[in-house]
Amino acid sequence: MSFKTTGKVLQILPEIKGTSARGEWKKQDFIIETAEEQFPKKICFTLFNDKNGTFDKIKPNMEVEVSFSIESREYNEKWYSNINAFRVDLVQQGAASQNPPTFSESDIPPIGDSGDKDDLPF
Protein backbone atom coordinates (compact mmCIF):
# COMPACT_ATOMS: atom_id res chain seq x y z
CA MET A 1 0.00 0.00 0.00
CA SER A 2 1.37 3.42 -0.87
CA PHE A 3 0.39 6.95 0.07
CA LYS A 4 1.10 10.51 -1.10
CA THR A 5 1.32 13.80 0.71
CA THR A 6 2.59 17.28 -0.03
CA GLY A 7 4.37 19.76 2.16
CA LYS A 8 7.31 22.06 2.71
CA VAL A 9 10.75 20.57 3.42
CA LEU A 10 11.78 21.72 6.89
CA GLN A 11 15.04 19.85 7.30
CA ILE A 12 17.31 17.37 5.50
CA LEU A 13 19.31 15.27 7.96
CA PRO A 14 22.84 13.98 7.26
CA GLU A 15 23.24 10.86 5.15
CA ILE A 16 24.03 7.63 7.03
CA LYS A 17 26.03 4.83 5.38
CA GLY A 18 26.69 1.27 6.42
CA THR A 19 27.44 -2.26 5.32
CA SER A 20 25.23 -5.30 5.79
CA ALA A 21 25.34 -8.92 4.63
CA ARG A 22 23.79 -7.73 1.35
CA GLY A 23 26.36 -5.01 0.75
CA GLU A 24 26.66 -1.28 1.27
CA TRP A 25 23.60 0.83 1.98
CA LYS A 26 22.80 4.46 2.68
CA LYS A 27 19.80 6.28 4.03
CA GLN A 28 18.78 9.86 4.54
CA ASP A 29 15.96 11.25 6.66
CA PHE A 30 14.08 14.43 5.87
CA ILE A 31 11.22 16.26 7.54
CA ILE A 32 8.30 17.96 5.84
CA GLU A 33 5.38 19.94 7.22
CA THR A 34 2.10 19.05 5.55
CA ALA A 35 -0.12 21.79 4.21
CA GLU A 36 -3.26 19.85 3.37
CA GLU A 37 -4.86 19.80 6.81
CA GLN A 38 -6.29 22.32 9.24
CA PHE A 39 -3.52 21.42 11.69
CA PRO A 40 -0.25 20.86 9.77
CA LYS A 41 1.79 17.82 10.77
CA LYS A 42 5.55 17.31 10.72
CA ILE A 43 6.56 13.95 9.26
CA CYS A 44 10.01 12.36 9.15
CA PHE A 45 10.58 10.24 6.02
CA THR A 46 13.46 7.87 5.30
CA LEU A 47 14.88 7.56 1.80
CA PHE A 48 17.00 4.41 1.26
CA ASN A 49 19.70 4.00 -1.39
CA ASP A 50 18.71 7.11 -3.33
CA LYS A 51 19.88 6.42 -6.87
CA ASN A 52 18.48 9.53 -8.54
CA GLY A 53 20.14 12.19 -6.37
CA THR A 54 16.92 13.52 -4.83
CA PHE A 55 18.69 15.86 -2.42
CA ASP A 56 20.84 17.36 -5.15
CA LYS A 57 17.71 19.11 -6.44
CA ILE A 58 15.55 19.43 -3.30
CA LYS A 59 16.46 21.88 -0.58
CA PRO A 60 14.77 23.17 2.62
CA ASN A 61 11.68 25.39 2.13
CA MET A 62 10.77 23.77 -1.21
CA GLU A 63 7.28 22.33 -1.72
CA VAL A 64 7.42 18.60 -2.47
CA GLU A 65 5.09 15.68 -3.08
CA VAL A 66 6.26 12.51 -1.34
CA SER A 67 5.14 9.00 -2.29
CA PHE A 68 5.72 6.67 0.64
CA SER A 69 4.87 3.41 2.36
CA ILE A 70 4.52 2.59 6.04
CA GLU A 71 6.13 -0.49 7.52
CA SER A 72 6.20 -1.87 11.08
CA ARG A 73 8.39 -4.54 12.63
CA GLU A 74 8.82 -6.15 16.02
CA TYR A 75 12.06 -6.13 17.98
CA ASN A 76 12.34 -7.37 21.58
CA GLU A 77 8.56 -7.43 22.00
CA LYS A 78 8.22 -3.79 20.92
CA TRP A 79 6.91 -2.48 17.61
CA TYR A 80 8.66 0.14 15.49
CA SER A 81 7.30 1.91 12.43
CA ASN A 82 9.11 3.43 9.45
CA ILE A 83 7.79 5.86 6.88
CA ASN A 84 9.79 5.01 3.78
CA ALA A 85 9.78 7.48 0.89
CA PHE A 86 10.27 5.98 -2.54
CA ARG A 87 9.66 9.08 -4.66
CA VAL A 88 10.05 12.81 -3.97
CA ASP A 89 8.91 15.34 -6.59
CA LEU A 90 8.98 19.13 -6.62
CA VAL A 91 5.53 20.73 -6.62
CA GLN A 92 5.21 23.20 -9.47
CA GLN A 93 4.43 26.61 -7.99
CA GLY A 94 1.96 27.53 -10.75
CA ALA A 95 0.08 24.23 -10.47
CA ALA A 96 -0.27 24.44 -6.71
CA SER A 97 -2.43 27.56 -6.73
CA GLN A 98 -4.86 27.30 -9.62
CA ASN A 99 -7.39 29.98 -8.71
CA PRO A 100 -10.29 30.86 -10.98
CA PRO A 101 -9.93 34.11 -12.93
CA THR A 102 -11.30 37.24 -11.32
CA PHE A 103 -13.88 39.49 -12.94
CA SER A 104 -15.49 42.85 -12.25
CA GLU A 105 -18.97 44.27 -12.81
CA SER A 106 -17.85 45.75 -16.13
CA ASP A 107 -17.30 42.20 -17.43
CA ILE A 108 -21.03 41.41 -17.07
CA PRO A 109 -23.06 42.39 -20.15
CA PRO A 110 -26.01 44.73 -19.54
CA ILE A 111 -29.55 43.33 -19.49
CA GLY A 112 -31.44 44.46 -22.57
CA ASP A 113 -34.44 46.76 -22.05
CA SER A 114 -35.32 46.77 -25.72
CA GLY A 115 -38.40 44.63 -25.23
CA ASP A 116 -36.88 41.62 -26.98
CA LYS A 117 -38.83 38.48 -26.34
CA ASP A 118 -37.07 35.47 -25.04
CA ASP A 119 -36.80 33.12 -28.01
CA LEU A 120 -35.74 30.06 -26.09
CA PRO A 121 -37.81 26.98 -27.05
CA PHE A 122 -38.38 25.87 -23.46
For 41-117, strand residue ranges (E) read 42-48, 63-75, 78-90
**113 domain-assigned:** no
| Predicted model pTM | 0.69
> Averaged in consecutive runs of 10 residues, what is the pLDDT profile of the chain (122 residues)?
90 92 91 86 91 82 94 95 92 62 68 61 64
Q: Which pLDDT value is given to residue 61? A: 93
Spatial distance between the Cα atoms of 103 and 17, rounded to a whole number of angstroms: 56
Range(s) of the domain holding residue 58: 3-94
Phi, psi of 118 (to 5 degrees): -75, 120
Q: Which pLDDT value is given to residue 35? A: 78
Total number of domains in the chain: 1
Contact in structure between 69 and 86 (CB atoms under 8 Å): yes
Q: How many CA atoms lie within 13 A of 3 on its CB side?
A: 10
State the CATH number of the domain containing residue 25: 2.40.50.140
